[in-house]
Homo-oligomer: A and B are copies of this chain.
Amino acid sequence: MKRSNDQLIADRARLLGPNVATFYEDPVHIVKGEGVWLWDADGRKYLDCYNNVPHVGHCNPRVVEAIHKQASTLNTHTRYLHEGILEYIDRLTGTMDAELSTAILTCTGSEANDIALRMAEAVTGKRGIIATDATYHGNTTLVSQLSRSNIPSVGFGLDKYFNFISAPDSYRNPDPDGSKFAAAVGKKIDELKKSEDGFAALVICPYFLNEGFPDHADGWLKLAAEIVRKAGGLLICDEVQSGFGRTGTHFWAHEKMGVVPDILTLGKPMANGHPVGGVVASAEIMKEFRSGFRYFNTFGGNPVSCAAAMAVLEEIDAKQLVQNAHLVGKYARSRLETLKQKYDAVGDVRGSGLVFGAEMVLDRESKSPAGEFTDRVVNAMRHRSIILSKLGRHKNTLKIRPPMPFSKDNANLLFDTLDDVLAQTPVIP
């Protein structure tokens, strides 16, 4: 018997405990997905403009078939030889700079970042980590310390190693060539060099997704990367959100930003929802880490996970999804620009490829963030069967990050609805 939403919410509290977030004031009970579409338990159909984990579409047949075939054939671990992990890492690293040639496969992006920070400690002998004050890199004891928006009450004292700089904000504090950001990184490095921890690494999402994807010119990270290297530290790029062609112009956002990271971490979209993450690094860095520690992950790199991840790469190529992201993303931004001309609350339109959105403001002069208004817009869109969310430094940026097969028709439905909703949602100062 189908439970009511109220019953589901009560059972979640009973079985999962308190503080388990759901989206929306009126949470959605989703039971079915296909491509960019979701259906709830009442049969209502939603356009998914939010979920990046089903990168090549919900229930993508190529991925489902790859999982089914391999799960029916064999699923073991990396202590036996298997072609799957080798074929996958060969193909994955083939999309990157030659320097990025070895990988560890994990089950989550959190595990990947947890390894990346240890690699930085192994290479530099230091422990001081720098990140922005509006980021998120995962949930282990170590990497949860990177998140200022959900500061853990416990964590074995690890917070002392984490140092934060202001997230870039192209709307309020333009930094066209990244020199301000690089200077902030440099200043923090100088502080760390004087401390007993020293400087180990700068960890960033190269497209600053959680920070609200500020509008940065290609090559924007070059200056920061130079300063990091000059100081003997490592650049860790977390491409859990920005990778696999999401930005439409490049397969990896670090390429777009003009840098090759020392360590690259991957997760969410990597296997379309099958639990797969990874850490890619140079042979030298990998050796430095692995020589001091026989890292083994029971499920990491298993044949089924590799088959699912491989199917994602194949599907991106076969359906030309990076090109699609570029074309549809351009169109989406043009429609957002039109809404900006129509509604004063739409303060700034940003994005690249299939990550885009608009910052909502109370008025354009003060640029005062309209967080509560954005909440009402997001909830109204949900009731109009459009799934999206918000993020950013000021929690006032629409977060639109659909599965990669998102089409111009889908964009039209999204923006026609958003136009209606904006017209009907009062801005209350």
Contacts and interface: CB of A to CB of B under 8 A. Distances in A.
Interface string A43-82: 0000000010110001100011001100111111111111
A163 interface: no
Interface stretch (A298-306, A357-365, A410-418): A298-306
A268 B79 contact: no
Contact of A290 (B17, B81, B295): B17
A154 B293 contact: yes
Contact of A140 (B8, B19, B20, B142): B142
Contacts of A54: 75-76
A42 to B, nearest CB: 12
Given A103-B15, A122-B153, A273-B302, A296 B139 contact: yes
20 contacts: A15-B89, A16-B286, A17-B290, A18-B287, A20-B290, A21-B294, A22-B80, A29-B81, A30-B80, A33-B76, A38-B74, A63-B71, A76-B273, A107-B107, A108-B299, A109-B298, A118-B152, A141-B142, A142-B156, A156-B158
A104 B152 CA distance: 16
B33 A59 contact: no
Contacts of A110: 111, 297
A130 to B, nearest CB: 15
A93 interface: yes
Interface string A103-117: 110011111001001
Given A67-B68, A81-B5, A286-B17, A127 B157 contact: yes
A79 B22 contact: yes
Given A73-B33, A81-B5, A102 B273 contact: no
Given A58-B74, A107-B299, 4 more contacts: A15-B85, A18-B286, A31-B82, A32-B74
B71 A67 contact: yes
A18 B141 contact: no
A108 to B, nearest CB: 5
A14 interface: yes
Interface string A259-296: 00000000110001111000000010011011111111
Nearest to A153: B292
Nearest to A155: B118
The 4 closest A-B pairs by CB, nearest first: A153-B292, A17-B286, A275-B299, A29-B81
Contact of A275 (B32, B38, B157, B305): B305
Contacts of A12: 81, 86
B114 A30 contact: no
A144 interface: yes
Contacts of A20: 78, 290, 294, 296
A218 interface: no
Given A21-B79, A107-B107, A74 B33 contact: yes
A83 interface: yes
Nearest to A284: B17
Given A140-B140, A293-B152, A304-B273, A298 B81 contact: no
Contacts of A77: 53
- Most chain B CB within 10 A, of A110, A152, A154, is at A154
A142 to B, nearest CB: 4
Contact of A30 (B74, B272, B290): B74
B71 A64 contact: yes
A11 interface: yes
A203 B340 CA distance: 57
A341 B20 CA distance: 57
A382 B356 CA distance: 55
Given A59-B75, A68-B67, A297 B108 contact: yes
Interface in A177-230: none
Nearest to A109: B298
A49 B296 CA distance: 21
A141 B59 CA distance: 34
Interface in A133-162: 139-142, 144, 150, 152-158, 161
